[in-house]
Chains A and B, each alone.
Chain A
Amino acid sequence: MSTPVPAWTIAAVLDDDLIVVERVIGGIRRRHVPIGDLAMGPARGHGVLRLTCSTHSDWPATQRLANQLRRIVGVQAVSVHAAGDCLTREQALVRVRATPSRLGTLLDTLALYEAVVIEEQFAALVVQVTGTAPFLCTCLRALEPFGVLDVARGGAVVLSPGDATTGGAAPAARPAASAPFLSPDAIIALSPESR
């Protein structure tokens, strides 16, 4: 997961119900569509989740999958986005080795990617970095020489640019107090050109 650049991203807004989530995941598995990222978190409104899934499948197969997801009871809306036609961001936490001799270079590198140090540990830093999937891959490659000890990526999430709704039916983004890690709010704050 996560490495190839996806051709399409499917965003589904669904009831916050484990059975519905399981049906959606099962539906994705059953249609044999190659999946890149899979991310899920609260969406706008109480009891609503947003599941985002990228695929490098062809358009007809992607459409078929979206149509199958739409018919699941508890799925409120499904939209399909072409790569580059939507606002997409992913967040990663990276634990990277930080020796005193290379700390300055490391901080310079982190600054290049606007990564934020969120914890200082003995001989290591935990940093937070946000961007598109290719951007994160580039950042991780840049950190490799320092020694990447662990990586936790959240998966890409998307919203249509300049549109109050997703696919005409999904709720608009709003500041999310409970789930900053996958908050659509964080994505909107970034301009597409900022990375």
Chain B
Amino acid sequence: MTVDRAQSRGDQVSEVLTGAQMLCRLIREQGVEVVFGYPGGAIMPMYHALPEYPRLRHVLVRHEQAAAHAADGYARASGRPGICLATSGPGATNLVTGLATAQLDSSPVVAITGQVPRAMIGRDAFQETDIIGITLPITKHSLSVEDISELPEKVREAFAIATRGRPGPVLIDIPKDVQTQRAAWRPAVVPAAARPDASPVPTALGDDIGTAVRLIAQAERPLLLLGRGVILSGAYAEVRALAEKTGMPVITTLLGISAIPESHPLHLGMPGMHGEVHVNRAIQQADLLVGIGLRFDDRVTGNTAGFAPRARIIHVDLDASEIGKNVSVEVALVGDAGAVTRRLLGAVAPRGCDPWWAEIDTYRRERHQQYRGDMAPETILSAIRAASGPGCTIVSDVGQHQMWVAKHYSYEEPNSHMTSGGLGTMGFAVPAAMGVHFARPGRPVWAISGDGGFQMNMQEIATMVQEGLPVKMAVFNNGYLGMVRQWQQFFHGRRYSATPIWSPDFVKLAEAYGIAGYRVEYAREIEEAVARAVREPGPALVEFIIEQEANVFPMIPPGGSLSEPIEAAPAGAPAA
């Protein structure tokens, strides 16, 4: 028995725990069964306690950045907080990119960092960094635990802040000697799951709902734009019902993908920098945008001065600070996407948009691109979709493949697409996919990367092998940092500065890690390789050798408006 019990007055027995033991209990209290981390000096008491809590599985990553991404993937897939552990100093600073990624995409990650003992703080001790100061701008909140007496309250507060309202990452910094302090354990008075929300979500005012309903009724060219807020709220049925009741074409942002099935007849596509021409043109011609749970970021709007010039905007968002931040809105409905959409749904009259749909159909155009070996991205993605089934989760990295995955994969299940949309973090996919696996055991998950991003965190194959995680990895290998190369081709006179990138033999790399690896060079080989990877009981890697200078079309030039798509490579450059 490693947990002390001490008898207090009379028959009352209180359990005395160390700070580290309390931490383990507090994590379990949240219903979380896995933590991702890497041990080190200042977090050793926590690691000493972990084996006493076998229901709390620890996944040893190979770099703390991967721990943060894995926690992020777990949080996105489960809706519960994802937890990463790191020691002080470099362990903590290695979390930074993962926390910033979670902050930009509103993901409830809780980072627990060890800190040097209290007596050493401020003396530039070995592996001492001001991790709270470093992460202030990239976390929703930070807490420093000064004494074990405040540990339970602060940890519970951290989880509450991370998950309530608009979710976001929270960092808890705990000095090593606080982890070894002992105190009586006080269970939560109310179980965490049942505790009332400390910050009730504001709801939209009736007048605003009325105005929104009137605008929807009057609009001739309305559009429904869905962002990540819909997924965070789980408002799939509500937005679908609103679309079906009004006939409004539905556009999903990069982080809103899978908020409505791709095959739904009202789904139009993705807007913005790499959105299809007919989607962006619809936005430019629209007289009303109903935006739910999106922040109208620059990758969606292009130059805001030219964005949706004819449209009035109804903006539904949980975070009042998003209203009017990037675009001016006619009606602001601050509240949970599901709750507000339900009110809208109850108030709008059924209508159709047939003439508007007919007009949008005239904007559509076919695009034909030739690829080496017929290795078209859509062919590869269709094969992955067919072999993995509708319950598969796709986690994409950042770059050209990210846009292909967003545009060409057929998402039918809610929340089945994940990517680093806000920060655009290369190296996200592989570790985040590990986290997704823990949230959705038994369901397939693919990490799809480019050759650049894959090499940023490919060391996590070792984690997958050690932990037995059946994550499937696809690498789109074009020998370039493709998206940067595309920009160099279009906007920098085709000067490919530092974008050609050498890669190791990925099949041999897979072999070295003891997993199955396949290389596909021709379209005829795709199905077989993907099917074999899916059949593998453990992790598997498929490398797709794709057209070196393939481009993502269309493209809105940086600073351009949605009305200025680039649909072909500059003269003299390869057409693909």
Contact = CB atoms under 8 A, between A and B. Distances in A.
Interface of A: 19, 22-23, 26, 30, 60, 63-64, 67-68, 70-71, 73-74
B320 A67 contact: yes
Given A63-B324, A67-B325, A73-B161, A19 B319 contact: no
B323 A26 contact: no
B136 A68 contact: no
Given A19-B132, A26-B136, A60 B324 contact: yes
A68 B321 contact: yes
Nearest to B133: A22
A64 B324 contact: yes
A30 B324 contact: no
Contacts, number: 31
Contacts of B440: none
Given A26-B137, A70-B320, A71-B319, A64 B142 contact: no
| Chain A contact residues, majority secondary structure | helix
Nearest to B170: A73
Contacts of B325: 64, 67
Contacts of B437: none
Interface in B38-92: none
Given A70-B320, A71-B321, 17 more contacts: A19-B143, A26-B136, A30-B137, A60-B324, A63-B324, A64-B321, A64-B325, A67-B320, A67-B323, A67-B325, A68-B321, A70-B321, A71-B166, A71-B319, A71-B320, A73-B141, A73-B161
Contacts of B457: none
A30 B325 CA distance: 14
Interface string B241-271: 0000000000000000000000000000000
B446 to A, nearest CB: 35
B93 interface: no
Interface of B: 132-133, 136-137, 140-144, 161, 166, 319-321, 323-325
A64 B319 CA distance: 12
Nearest to B322: A67
Given A19-B132, A73-B161, A67 B140 contact: no
Contacts of A64: 321, 324-325
Contacts of B142: 19
A20 to B, nearest CB: 9
Nearest to A67: B321
Contacts of A60: 324
Contacts of A74: 141
21 contacts: A19-B136, A19-B142, A22-B133, A22-B136, A26-B137, A30-B137, A60-B324, A63-B324, A64-B321, A64-B324, A67-B320, A67-B321, A67-B323, A67-B325, A68-B321, A70-B320, A71-B166, A71-B319, A73-B141, A73-B161, A74-B141
Contacts of B133: 22
A11 B254 CA distance: 37
A161 B287 CA distance: 42
B351 to A, nearest CB: 33
A47 to B, nearest CB: 14
B307 to A, nearest CB: 16
A74 B161 CA distance: 11
A64 B325 CA distance: 6
B315 to A, nearest CB: 13
Given A19-B132, A22-B133, A73 B140 contact: yes
A55 to B, nearest CB: 17
A60 B326 CA distance: 10
A70 B142 CA distance: 16
A23 B138 CA distance: 10
A71 B319 CA distance: 8
Nearest to A69: B321
Nearest to B157: A73
